[in-house]
Structure 1
C-alpha cells in the first residue's frame, strides 16, 4: 500500500497533517493524523473538514490532484518520470516538495532544500525552448504548479537581479511563464490586462516582463511575485538567500470539492452562487471579499477573459491558518483577441455565458444569484465600465514606453473584442 505524507507550513514551521494511503488513485484516501486533530489546527481545505474518518477517494483526488499541472505540461512530466498521466499519486510524490500554497507532499525521501543559480543563458533557454524546458526544471526541482501553460517557480534576488532554481523544499518567490509556447504576444497581453485591473482598484500580485533579448516572443518571460509567500520578520537563510514563509491557499475548485476537469461551468451547474456562498461563510471580511470577486467578474467581462474558471480564483490563508481572505487576482488575459478562442465565459453571469450576448442586465440578474444588492452591484459595474477605456489606454502607453509596442494593437483588439464593446 502506498503512503504519502502530507505537511503544511504554519508560521514557518513544517507541521505533519496526515496521510494519503491506497494502492491506486481509485482507492487512495486522505486522513488527518491524530496529532494534527489534537493540536486543534484548522482543516487544509473547506472541502476536507476536520474528521477522524478518512475521506473518499473522490474527495481526496479532487483536492490533491488540484495541486498538479494540467494538459500538455502534466503529460510531459508523466513522460519524464515514466508514470501514467492519470496516476496523480506518483506525479504528486515527485513534484510535491513545493506546491502552490503551503502544502508539501512527501513519500519519505529527503527533501532538503537548496537553490541553484541560473545563468543568463539558462533564463534565455527557458524563454526559447518551450514547455519541455519548463517541465524539465519542475521535475528536477520537485515543484508542482497548477495550470496548463509552460511555467516554473523560481527564486528572484531583486537586489542583485539574479534568478535561482529552488530544489527540494526550498520555497520559490515568483512564478515565471513562457510566452511563445502559449499564444502570440501573450506576455504583453497578460501584463496589460493585470496592470489595467490594478489601475481600476483590483488587487493583483506584482508582475513584470523579463526581456532576454529584443522583446520577441521567444525572448521574453512573464514573472509574477507569489502572493502565497512572505518574508518573515526573523528570517533564516539558504545560500545567503532569505527563505520566505509559505502561506496556504486553495483555489475554488478545491474549496468546492470539484475536479480540475470540471473547472469550466457547464450545463446548469451555476458556479457563481456557490463561490459567493463560500465567501459569505468562510472569509474574515465577507462584504469586502464578495465585492472584490464581483469586481473581478466584471473586469473579466470587460477585458474579454473567457478563461476565468474556478481554478483561477483562490482563497488565501493567514500564516497561522486561522483566517481566510479572497486572494489577489491572477492569470488575467484577454483571450477573446485570439482567433478561434472561446466566446463562452467560464462562469455564467445571469444565465448567460456567451460574452457576445452578455449585457449589463445579466449582471443585474447575477447580483441576485450572488446574494448582492442589485443597486450596489450595478454601481460597481458602472464604475468599472466608465473607467475601463481610460485605464487601458494609460497602461498600454506605459508598456509601449517600456519597450513593448504591441501593447497598442492589443489595446485596440481588447476594445473591439472584449465585453466593453457591447456596452
Structure 2
C-alpha cells in the first residue's frame, strides 16, 4: 500500500514512531491492514499473524481481532469510550481513533495527517495530576465506566479489570500525557471490600521467588483510602532522556483470536496453539521460550491461578526478533473455590482440573511445547516443592495495612493447605 494513501476513518500504524502501515475499514465494517510499500524488511512487524511481506494485505479475520485485542474486555469501559466520542462500542476502529495514541506495545494508531513524535522526550507534554486519589476513586466508583472523563485520556489497555495508564516522572509525580509521551505505569485499583491488590502482589512476588520473569510491581494506597496494585510497564524503556516503546502482542492477537474466546473452554487456544506461537520465534530462542512458558504454566497450577488464558501471555517484538514478555496479571484463586474443582485455563496433557494434573500430564504438555522431559520434571518438582515457601517469602516482602496483612495471611495459608492436600 502506498504510504501516502489515506481516507476518512483510516488509522495509520506507527511502531515506536516509525510509520508502518494503514488500517482501513469498508462500508460494511470489515477491517484490513497493509504495510507501507517502502517499509524496511527488517522493521518490526505488528503481529505474528501479520508477517511483514511486501504487498500483502490482511483482512478482517486477522485485522479485527488484533485491534480488538488492544481494547478493554470490560463492556462498561468500551461503552464509556464510545459515549464520550460518539462512536460504536463494537467498532474497534472507531474506538481506537480516539484512544489509540498509547496502546500495549510500541503501536500508536493515529488518524491520517497526525504525526507521531516518538520516541518522546521524558519531559514531554504531560498534565500532572493534583489529586490522584480523586482520579482513582472515580475509576473504582464507576467500575470502569467513567465516560465523563474519557476525553482526557488517549491510551487503551486490554483486560477486564478497571485500570489506569499514567506517566510517572523521575521525582514521583503522576501525570496524563498530552502528546505522544508514553505512559510508564499501569494502576489497578482494588474493588472496595476486596484486596486483589495484595493477591496480585503476593502471586507476582512468589513467581519471582521461584525464578520466573515477572513485571516490576508494587502497592500504593491513595489519600482517599483506595488500594492500588502498580505495575511498571515492561514495554517502555528509557534511553537517556527519551522513553521508547517496545512492541508487544498477546497470544490471542498472535493467533488471530477474538478476545471473547481467550479461554480454551470458550473455544479459544490451548497448548497446541501456544506452541505455534513459540515456533514462530527464531530457532535460537525457541527452547528458552518453550521452557519459560512451561514453567509459567506449572506455576499457574501451583498458585491456583485459573486466569492464565491466551491474553495473559505476550510476545515482545524487536525487528525480526521475538521473545516472551515477562509475566503479568498473576493472581491466586486458592481462597475462593472451597471444595469446588479448580479449572486450569488451558488443558494440561488432556486434563483441566488442577488437582488431577500429575507428572504424566505435565510430560505430555512438555512434549507439545517442545520442552525436554528431564527439564520438565525438574521444573515441576522445583515449583511444586517451592510454592508454599515462595508465598511465605512474598508475605514477608509485604508492607500493608492490617486488613491487607490479614488477607495475605489467609491467602498464604490457603496456598499451603492446597499444597498439602494436592501435592502442590
Q: Is the TM value for this pair above 0.5?
A: yes
Q: Distance in 2 between matches of 1:414 and 1:135?
A: 39
SS of the residue aligned with 1:282?
coil
> Which residue in 2 is equivalent to 1:337?
335
With over 3 angstroms needed to count, the CA separation of the structure-2 counterparts of 1:3 and 1:124, relative to structure 1, is closer
With over 3 angstroms needed to count, the CA separation of the structure-2 counterparts of 1:268 and 1:370, relative to structure 1, is farther
1:156 aligns with 2:162: no
In the TM superposition, residue 213 of structure 1 has moved relative to its aligned partner by 4.5
Q: Distance in 1 between matches of 2:411 and 2:293?
A: 25
SS of the residue aligned with 2:229?
strand
Q: Distance in 2 between matches of 1:418 and 1:170?
A: 45
In the TM superposition, residue 116 of structure 1 has moved relative to its aligned partner by 1.0
In the TM superposition, residue 5 of structure 1 has moved relative to its aligned partner by 2.9
In the TM superposition, residue 338 of structure 1 has moved relative to its aligned partner by 2.7
Structure 1 range deviating more: 47-56 or 296-305: 47-56
Q: Distance in 1 between matches of 2:137 and 2:269?
A: 42
> Which residue in 2 is equivalent to 1:410?
411
Which 5+ residue runs of structure 2 have no aligned equivalent?
A: 1-6, 118-123
> Which residue in 2 is equivalent to 1:384?
383
1:322 aligns with 2:320: yes
In the TM superposition, residue 59 of structure 1 has moved relative to its aligned partner by 0.9
> Which residue in 2 is equivalent to 1:238?
none
Whether the 8 Å CA contact 2:126–2:175 is kept in 1: the answer is: yes
SS of the residue aligned with 1:154?
strand
Structure 1 range deviating more: 221-230 or 25-34: 25-34
Whether the 8 Å CA contact 1:336–1:418 is kept in 2: the answer is: no
1:187 aligns with 2:202: no
> Which residue in 2 is equivalent to 1:303?
303
In the TM superposition, residue 315 of structure 1 has moved relative to its aligned partner by 0.5
SS of the residue aligned with 1:180?
coil
Q: Distance in 2 between matches of 1:342 and 1:165?
A: 43
Q: Distance in 1 between matches of 2:113 and 2:333?
A: 41
> Which residue in 1 is equivalent to 2:74?
71
In the TM superposition, residue 357 of structure 1 has moved relative to its aligned partner by 2.8
Q: TM-score, normalised by structure 2?
A: 0.87
In the TM superposition, residue 56 of structure 1 has moved relative to its aligned partner by 1.3
With over 3 angstroms needed to count, the CA separation of the structure-2 counterparts of 1:201 and 1:138, relative to structure 1, is farther
1:352-410 deviation per Cα after TM superposition (whole angstroms, max 9, x unaligned): 11223323332122122222222220111101111111111111133157763121112
- How many residues align? The count is 404
What CA RMSD, in Å, does the superposition of the two structures yield over aligned residues?
A: 2.7
In the TM superposition, residue 127 of structure 1 has moved relative to its aligned partner by 6.4
Q: Distance in 2 between matches of 1:66 and 1:110?
A: 23
In the TM superposition, residue 80 of structure 1 has moved relative to its aligned partner by 2.8
In the TM superposition, residue 103 of structure 1 has moved relative to its aligned partner by 0.7
Q: TM-score, normalised by structure 1?
A: 0.87
Q: Distance in 1 between matches of 2:307 and 2:260?
A: 14
Which 5+ residue runs of structure 1 have no aligned equivalent?
A: 236-242
Whether the 8 Å CA contact 1:126–1:178 is kept in 2: the answer is: no
